[in-house]
Amino acid sequence: MTQYAPNPPQQAPAKPSNGLGTAGFVLGLIGLLFSFIPLIGVVAWPLVILGIIFSAIGISKATKGRATNKGLAIAGLVVSVVGLVVCILWVAVWNNAVDDINEEANREVVIVYEITGDAPSADVTYTTFGDSMTTNQETVAELPWRKEVTTTGIVKDGQLIVTTGADGGSVTCKLTVDGKEVKSATASGAFAMATCDSI
């Protein structure tokens, strides 16, 4: 009687490993959504980069037959790359904005303070706002009066206050910033005050 060796037990086929492709899609999608939000979008950088890596590994595994979600891994790679592009565009926008701010801050502006009128005397206070704030006071015995100040900074403004003396008369102040008249005002009488500012 012939005896046959028992058939060896069949091994169950290995389950497809779809975790990395799925993780790449989820990370890429979340990163893409965050990438559109200013400031908070910095969180998107690691998410989309990890999404690209995991999706690429998932595509490789699916190509070798060790995963079955190649389509999802490809979608993860696409959304991750789009998210990365949005992040890079935001960096370009921010860098451009910073350059514009620095250029404006370093740009020189001339502020002109002027007073005219028939008042025999006047007290003048003029303030310049720029990289630093400076305030000057003068007693003017003869009109017209004029001062030019050059300043730099993000804020480039001025303020001019003129007050007549006890003898009265009239005064008119005028403030010009960067070649444009921004304010003028007139006052008359004893201890009358005229104020011009660009704030």
Which of 105, 128, 153 represents a domain boundary (last residue)?
Answer: 105
Does some domain include residue 2? no
**Structural domains of the chain, count:** 2
Strands 122-129 and 133-140: antiparallel
Closest CA to 81 of 93, 92, 69, 89: 89
pLDDT in tens, 149-182: 999 998 899 999 999 999 999 999 999 999 999 9
Q: Which parts of the chain have pLDDT scores under 70?
A: 1-15
Those residues with Cβ within 8 angstroms of residue 22's Cβ, 6 or more apart along the chain or in another chain: 58, 69, 72, 73, 76
Model pLDDT, residue 61: 92
Q: What is the DSSP letter of 73?
A: H
Looking at the fold, whether 151 and 181 belong to one and the same domain comes out as yes
Whole-number pLDDT of residue 14: 54
Report pLDDT for 18. Answer: 82
Question: Of the candidates 29, 35, 73, which has an alpha carbon nearest to the alpha carbon of residue 53?
Answer: 73
User: What is the CATH number for 167?
Assistant: 2.60.40
Q: Is residue 10 one of the residues assigned to a domain?
A: no
- Reported for 42-47, long-range contacts at CB under 8 A and 24+ positions apart, including other chains, are 44/83, 44/86, 44/87, 45/84, 45/87, 47/83
**Residue 55 belongs to domain spanning:** 19-105
Domain boundary among 42, 75, 105: 105
Q: Are residues 115 and 67 in the same domain?
A: no
